Amino acid sequence: MALKTWKPFLTVISLQFGYAGLSIIAKFALDRGMSPHVLAAYRHIVATIFIAPFAFFLDRKVRPKMTLPIFFKIALLGLLEPTIDQNLYYTGMKYTSATFTAAMTNVLPAFAFLMAWIFRLEKVNIRKVHSQAKILGTVVTVGGAMLMTVVKGPLVPLPWANPNDNHQDSSNPGVTPDLTKGALLIAIGCICWAGFVNLQAITIKSYPVELSLTAYICLMGSIESTIVALFIERGNPSAWAIQLDSKLLAAVYGGVICSGVGYYVQGVIMKTRGPVFVTAFNPLSMVIVAILGSIILAEVMYLGRILGAIVIVLGLYSVLWGKSKDEPSNSFSDMDIEFPRSTPQVVTFSLKSNTETDTMDASVVTSRHNTNESV
């Protein structure tokens, strides 16, 4: 029983370690000349090859029929996160650092809430304290991202980092670091990522097979991101060259861990625990990347970026606290997932003949009372 309780926590924490590892590996590959657009394409090609056989065999008896509306939703899902977000994310990372990128992505929950509010997927009552906390947290989170971009501050010495080793500039001299441009690209990518999360939650209701949905998203993402990469890297065939190095590792690691496994596990957990549970662990990835980035990539830390990251986390948890207060009203949706046969049983009992009506009605009333007591 204890293992069942802790399993979602351990799963989400493991995902954050996986995402942190990709930030370090991807930054390492980008600093050595890998195209961010080619990386996005290769990543989802690998993800499709990895996840498609599992979806084909394990979901063949439960996979619902593909309809045109579902196909359009999947095509849009493949465009939002695998294509637009990943291209902007890796390009922004190339202009900044792995730590800066991981910190900036903490604005994702705030953007997701704001987008859900605009499209009326999120109920907001200005008079309620938890709604005020969500709005205030969104503003604070965006303010923290701006603080990280504008304010640099003094260098924070770390015992294992060497500030004289400018690893980023020396390893990728063709790209001049630009925090403003990088932050803007990452922020736009997070907006697309927020749209992806909201659309995924909508799509999974009409296509409730997470494994097949993940495979289709990776397939559409690989097609669309490959088209984008071919257009941007036209006349540069050497950008597609790959060997047994960090570039191949970034594509395989990102495709298998962060796209294949990540999309599937995140969908399963969000279906039972909700997006608040998943996004609550995002700052863990930022801490891991900050430590590993300073050790492996020799990235230096500045006070302004640390303060901005702290402000982002405070704003994030303000949004998450306000969102958590909405959970009791949504708890019945989780009950429907856990007890899908309760309603059909009641309807079956109520259709009995006149001779059995009184007995069946009594059993129905008893079952309803028991259900209410269990709730």
Tell me: the pLDDT tens digits for 245-285?
A: 899 999 999 999 999 999 998 888 877 766 656 766 777 77
Give the pLDDT score at 218: 96
Q: Torsion over CA of 48, 51, 55 and 56, rounded to 10 degrees?
A: 60
For 317, other C-beta atoms within 10 Å of its C-beta total: 18
The pTM of this model reads: 0.75
Give the rounded distance of the alpha carbon of 40 from its chain centre: 15
Please state the three-class secondary structure of the chain as a single string.
CHHHHHHHHHHHHHHHHHHHHHHHHHHHHHHCCCCHHHHHHHHHHHHHHHHHHHHHHHCCCCCCCCCHHHHHHHHHHHHHHHHHHHHHHHHHHHHCCHHHHHHHHHHHHHHHHHHHHHCCCCCCCCCCHHHHHHHHHHHHHHHHHHHHHHCCCCEECCCCCCCCCCHHHHHCCCCCCCHHHHHHHHHHHHHHHHHHHHHHHHHHHHCCCHHHHHHHHHHHHHHHHHHHHHHHCCCCHHHHCCCCCHHHHHHHHHHHHHHHHHHHHHHHHHHHHCHHHHHCCHHHHHHHHHHHHHHHCCCCEEHHHHHHHHHHHHHHHHHHHHHHCCHHHHHHHHHHHHCCCHHHHHHHHHCCCHHHHHHHHHHHHHHHHHHHHHC
More confident residue, 81 or 308: 81
Instruction: Assign 137 a pLDDT band (cuts: 50, 70, 90).
Output: confident
Which has more confidence, 153 or 211? 211
pLDDT, position 142:
79
Q: Is the pLDDT reported for residue 36 higher than 90?
A: yes
Residue 365 has pLDDT above 50, yes or no: no
At residue 326, the pLDDT reads: 67
pLDDT at 340 over 60: no
Mean pLDDT of the chain: 79
Percentage with pLDDT > 70 across the chain: 78
- The pLDDT value recorded for residue 302 is 81
Task: Name the nearest CA neighbour of 83 among 278, 215, 222.
Answer: 222
Asked whether the predicted pLDDT for residue 353 surpasses 60, the reply is no
> How many CA within 13 A on the CB side of residue 245?
11
4 pLDDT more than 60: yes
Distance CA 196, CA 189 (A): 10
pLDDT on residue 375: 37
Q: Which residue has the higher pLDDT, 35 or 288?
A: 35
Q: Say how far apart CA 319 and CA 276 lie, in whole Å.
A: 9
Q: From CA 260, how far away is CA 192, in angstroms rounded?
A: 19
What's the confidence (pLDDT) of residue 223? 97
- Mean pLDDT calculated for residue range 104-120: 79
Average pLDDT rounded to a whole number, residues 39-53:
96
Asked if 218 and 43 touch (Cβ cutoff 8 Å), the reply is: no
Residue range 44-49: mean pLDDT, rounded? 96
Range of lowest pLDDT (145-154, 162-171, 216-225, 295-304): 162-171
How much is the pLDDT for 176?
76
